[in-house]
Amino acid sequence: MRHPSTAAIRLADYRPADFAIDSVELDFSLHPTKTRVSARLALRRNPAGDSSAPLVLDGDELMLLGVKLDGRTLGPGEYEATPDRFTLTNVPDAPFTLEIDTELNPSGNTQLSGLYRSGSAYCTQCEAEGFRRITYFLDRPDVLSVYTTRIEAEKSDAPILLSNGNPVEHGDVAGSNRHYALWRDPFPKPSYLFALVGGDLGVVRDEFTTMSGRVVELAIYVEHGKESRAAYAMDALKRSMRWDEEKFGREYDLDVFNIVAVSDFNMGAMENKGLNIFNDKYVLASPDTATDGDYAGIEGVIAHEYFHNWTGNRITCRDWFQLCLKEGLTVFRDQEFSADMRSRAVERIGDVRGLRLAQFPEDAGPLAHPVRPDVYQEINNFYTSTVYEKGAEIIRMLRTLIGEDNFRRGMDLYFERFDGTAATIEDFLSCFAASSGRDLTHFALWYSQAGTPVVTTSGEYDSAAQTFALKLSQQTPPTPGQSDKKPVVIPLALALFGENGQKLDLVSEDAAPTELARGLIELDSAERVIRFREIPSRPVVSLLRGFSAPVRLEQAPASEDLERLLACDDDPFNRWQASQSLALRAIFGRLETGALDARGLSEALRLLLAKAEDDPALVAQALSLPSDIDLAREKGRDVDPDQLFEARMALRAEIGRSLGSELDAIHARFSAAGAFTPDAASAGRRALRNVTLDLLAAGDAEKGRSLATAQFETAGNMTDKLAALATLALLGGHAREEAFAKFYAQYAGDALVIDKWFSLQAMIPEAATTQRVLGLMTHREFSMSNPNRVRALIGAFANGNLTRFHALDGSGYDLLTAVVLEVDPKNPQVSARLLSALRSWRTMESRRRDLIEARLKHIVAQENLSADLRDIATRALG
């Protein structure tokens, strides 16, 4: 609905609910446009609440049919009901039952929040505030109730009827074509974890025996005909269940675990108790439709939602300010799972790449907010990479600081103390303070202070004294509403390397023995100097190893030092970081002087390529040069995407030319042999081969075109096929258009594959792309009502094609503005998120800045904006 601008919600205003709802009995009668919901709530006053307060229930666009109090129908004068609120002033003193009947139109629900339809199926999305679109309720996460759900529908429309918990019974409704199913979830939960699905779906079944020997029935429901594409998700689910037992001692707690894949979904997936609902993008995969990246995404999201069963569901959030309590922790857990399933180093590099791509810009711009915000207008806009990814980094730092054993014991304590409750960040941290004996007060600042700290380092070597003085300082730039920043606790993993690449012992009186022993310096003040002794020659510093803290490092190592780290650092993350730093140095050097010096980088990469067999995936990461987005972020101000693009292409071409024969050899040697398997080792070989193709094409267009065309024609899997198409997309010409046409002909109607086709076209860095995107918006397989389609085409254009999106004639901005305003009345969550593509607008050079500002002002001047979009646009203008 069109929310009027509501008042800001503040963490400081938190009060316990005035009522408790111990049990909820729901009865759904599904119908495309007239679904009936009957909700029976067992209410009582909450001793912690205000004992004289009226009962005020949340609603959103609700149509009330009737209400009964303890079995008696209430007359119109006995309560007050609007579409978004139900108020009962005369509340009985004793516990009472309220029966509320509402009517919903799931087919007309385009926001994809509450009860809606995806294809012919019925499904729900209740996080964060969707349950109030189903019935009037205390729709807040600290109200925990036991739910029983009865669903009734036409047998032919919805042979499958699912809800949370365990199935109790099902059967026919006498004298009709209808049937019903009854579900009961014994675990008290907040309303945002409620879910229901009804539809005609295919199913894949399996089972899992838990560590205590209970058998859990697993099922993944998908569109008919797609069953074979759910096999990998099922495998990932079983691995997730085992991993949580082994690594965290967490066992699954219901008799069944169901997953449903739908094609219309606002986000990635949702952890509803016992009934996870997924964007089908994160379930469906087959070698010829999904890339290695898609497989990794499925594994990660399946794990993420499953892990929420303990971190989110058994222990939930007291209020939405605590969102990172479940999301940051669960992202940390899924990252660790993926690291264990795949390559830890490659996973870490990928996670940091993601953090820098999305979270760093957010933290440096007008939408910056603390990991635990203290105020919001619209909670949907706080499902951000700050809450999720920076939230995960905080957990990782905590583990680094207190050590693995204390961390695990702290987690055990958290589950022991807070199971069945709605908790806060303070509750969480108290468990680690107890397990480690460490005061975490200062550390907690990471949750309340926004902005990415900048750590500046310099080193001074004294050859006579054989000492090396490392000076460290930190400073966090101001963010909206927080001008003065305090120093935070930064764990800095450190090693010093000697002349021959040997690791030097850390000897110093300026650091604690544990810091030296662990190679972990804690920077918790504005400045710190550590003088290391017994250093025989000027050392090479490897700092922030493994990316031990979510900070920016301002360091000016000599290029030779970076080359040495790239060759000899035993921390794979910093080896990769050295490759990226060298590339950035070459590109920014070109921007300043017009000349490109890439010799050092080329030679370092040549050495890596010679040892490519050792770890192809890692070498592929080192060869993946910074993107335009990386460059724009590193530049930080007066960004001109055309200049960045030109310099980046020049470096790619140079690397491609100078390493031509090595790249050639790799591309030939790593060619696909045998059947496709999605495992990390095979994926790493494909990644290396495809990045070499990309560089080869940059160095020699003709050669690239013929190699890419051949690979496109013969590829036995989507990874290789799409990589070839991406290379052709950059090269242009007839070969490109022919490949796009063939690709479409082959995959027409396969929505998730056509999304890739949309995205690659939207990212072509050529002037004609804007028109091309406008044309594709009228394509029969495009739809403004499907979030995946909108993200694939418009999201890819705005976030992945910097030169065209930021075209100086404003055409890219006009396109985004028009789409955002068209989508907003249908789906505010999607429009608001799309507009976040402008979150870094103030870092652009002035002509583009002016163009964007005018568009943002135009949006804010519209009358009927959703609360979601208005919030983003207003904050973006700052």
Catalytic site residues? 305
| Binder of residue 267, out of Zn ion, ligand TRP, none (CB less than 5 to 8 A by kind) | ligand TRP
Cis peptide before 128 (omega within 30 of 0): yes
Residue spans of beta strands (DSSP E) within 405-560: 422-423, 454-462, 467-475, 490-497, 520-523, 527-532, 540-543, 552-554
| Binder of residue 179, out of Zn ion, ligand TRP, none (CB less than 5 to 8 A by kind) | none
Q: Which one of residues 267, 395, 653, 852 is an interface residue with ligand TRP (CB under 6 A)?
A: 267
Q: How far apart are CA 544 and CA 531, in angstroms?
A: 18
Q: How far is the CB of 268 from ligand TRP (least distance, A)?
A: 6
Q: How far apart are CA 166 and CA 180, in angstroms?
A: 15
Q: How far is the CB of 858 from ligand TRP (least distance, A)?
A: 27
Q: How far is the CB of 818 from ligand TRP (least distance, A)?
A: 25
Q: How far is the CB of 393 from ligand TRP (least distance, A)?
A: 16
Tell me how many degrees the CA angle 64-65-68 measures, rounded to the nearest 5.
Answer: 95
| Binder of residue 264, out of Zn ion, ligand TRP, none (CB less than 5 to 8 A by kind) | none
Q: How far is the CB of 836 from ligand TRP (least distance, A)?
A: 14
Q: Which amino acid is at 50?
A: D
Q: How far is the CB of 327 from ligand TRP (least distance, A)?
A: 6
- Tell whether residue 128 is a contact of ligand TRP (CB under 6 A): yes
Q: How far is the CB of 409 from ligand TRP (least distance, A)?
A: 26
Chain position whose Cβ is nearest to ligand TRP:
267
Q: How far apart are CA 543 and CA 473, in angstroms?
A: 13
Question: Exposed, middle or buried, 404 (CB in 10 Å: 0-12/13-18/19+)?
Answer: exposed
- Tell whether residue 852 is a contact of ligand TRP (CB under 6 A): no
Q: Which one of residues 271, 363, 569, 630 is an interface residue with ligand TRP (CB under 6 A)?
A: 271
Nearest to 800 by CA among 809, 787, 812, 789: 812
Q: How far is the CB of 188 from Zn ion (least distance, A)?
A: 20
| Binder of residue 564, out of ligand TRP, Zn ion, none (CB less than 5 to 8 A by kind) | none
Q: Which is nearer to ligand TRP, 152 or 334 (CB)?
A: 334
Residues 663-672: contacts with CB under 8 Å, at least 24 apart: 663/609, 663/692, 663/695, 663/696, 663/699, 664/692, 664/696, 666/609, 666/612, 666/692, 667/692, 667/693, 667/696, 667/707, 670/612, 670/616, 672/715, 672/716, 672/717, 672/720
Backbone region of residue 538 per phi and psi (left: phi > 0; alpha: psi in -120 to 50; beta: other values): beta
Within 605-634, the residues that bind ligand TRP by CB under 6 A are none
Widest distance between CA atoms in the chain: 98
Q: How far is the CB of 335 from Zn ion (least distance, A)?
A: 12
- Tell whether residue 60 is a contact of ligand TRP (CB under 6 A): no
Nearest to 264 by CA among 123, 131, 134, 106: 123
Q: Which one of residues 35, 109, 111, 125 is an interface residue with ligand TRP (CB under 6 A)?
A: 125
Pair 125, 116: CB distance under 8 Å: yes
Nearest to 866 by CA among 266, 120, 116, 328: 266
Q: Which is nearer to ligand TRP, 127 or 630 (CB)?
A: 127
Q: Which is nearer to ligand TRP, 482 or 829 (CB)?
A: 829
Distances (CA, A) of 506 to 472, 496, 513, 533, 571: 16, 8, 9, 8, 16
Helix (H, G, I), strand (E, B) or coil at 9: strand
Provide the Cα torsion 355, 370, 362, 387; round to 10°. 50
Q: Which is nearer to ligand TRP, 305 or 389 (CB)?
A: 305
Within 342-401, the residues that bind ligand TRP by CB under 6 A are 380, 383
Q: Which one of residues 270, 516, 752, 834 is an interface residue with ligand TRP (CB under 6 A)?
A: 270
Tell me how many degrees the CA angle 177-182-186 measures, rounded to the nearest 5.
Answer: 170
| Binder of residue 270, out of ligand TRP, Zn ion, none (CB less than 5 to 8 A by kind) | ligand TRP
Backbone region of residue 190 per phi and psi (left: phi > 0; alpha: psi in -120 to 50; beta: other values): beta
Select the span of 124-132, 553-561, 698-706, 754-762 touching ligand TRP (CB under 6 A). Answer: 124-132
The residue behind tokens 């009934």 is 275
Within 295-324, the residues that bind ligand TRP by CB under 6 A are 304-305, 308
Q: Which one of residues 35, 266, 309, 621 is an interface residue with ligand TRP (CB under 6 A)?
A: 266
Q: How far is CA 189 from the centre of its chain?
A: 24
Q: Which is nearer to ligand TRP, 244 or 634 (CB)?
A: 244
Please give the size of the binding site for Zn ion, defined by CB under 5 A: 2
Q: In what order do the strands lie in the sheet with 552-554?
A: 527-532, 467-475, 454-462, 552-554
Nearest to 263 by CA among 793, 753, 795, 786: 786
The residue behind tokens 């063939």 is 742
Q: Which is nearer to ligand TRP, 127 or 571 (CB)?
A: 127
Q: How far apart are CA 720 and CA 417, in angstroms?
A: 49
Q: How far is the CB of 304 from Zn ion (least distance, A)?
A: 5
Q: How far is the CB of 126 from ligand TRP (least distance, A)?
A: 8
| Binder of residue 316, out of ligand TRP, Zn ion, none (CB less than 5 to 8 A by kind) | none
Q: What are phi and psi of 24, to 5 degrees?
A: -130, 125
User: What is the DSSP track for 119-151?
Assistant: TTEEEEE-TTTTGGGTS-B--STT--EEEEEEE
Query: 180: Cβ–Cβ under 8 A, 6 or more apart, which residues?
Result: 150, 151, 152, 153, 161, 170, 171, 172, 173
Q: How far is the CB of 664 from Zn ion (least distance, A)?
A: 44
Q: Site mask, ligand TRP, residues 448-487, x = CB under 6 A?
A: ----------------------------------------
Q: How far is the CB of 267 from ligand TRP (least distance, A)?
A: 4
| Binder of residue 125, out of ligand TRP, Zn ion, none (CB less than 5 to 8 A by kind) | ligand TRP
| Binder of residue 127, out of ligand TRP, Zn ion, none (CB less than 5 to 8 A by kind) | ligand TRP
Backbone region of residue 213 per phi and psi (left: phi > 0; alpha: psi in -120 to 50; beta: other values): left
Select the span of 263-271, 439-447, 600-608, 695-703 touching ligand TRP (CB under 6 A). Answer: 263-271
Within 319-378, the residues that bind Zn ion by CB under 5 A are 327, 330
| Binder of residue 700, out of Zn ion, ligand TRP, none (CB less than 5 to 8 A by kind) | none
Select the span of 175-183, 262-270, 583-591, 864-872 touching ligand TRP (CB under 6 A). Answer: 262-270
Q: Which amino acid is at 379?
A: I
User: What is the DSSP track for 420-450?
Assistant: TSEE-HHHHHHHHHHHH----TTTTHHHH--
Q: Would strands 114-118 and 121-125 be described as parallel, antiparallel, or unpaired?
A: antiparallel
Q: Which is nearer to ligand TRP, 194 or 383 (CB)?
A: 383
- The structure tokens listed for 177 are 């074509």
- Tell whether residue 127 is a contact of ligand TRP (CB under 6 A): yes
User: Applying CB under 6 A, which residues contact ligand TRP?
Assistant: 125, 127-128, 266-267, 269-271, 304-305, 308, 327, 380, 383
User: Applying CB under 5 A, which residues contact Zn ion?
Assistant: 327, 330
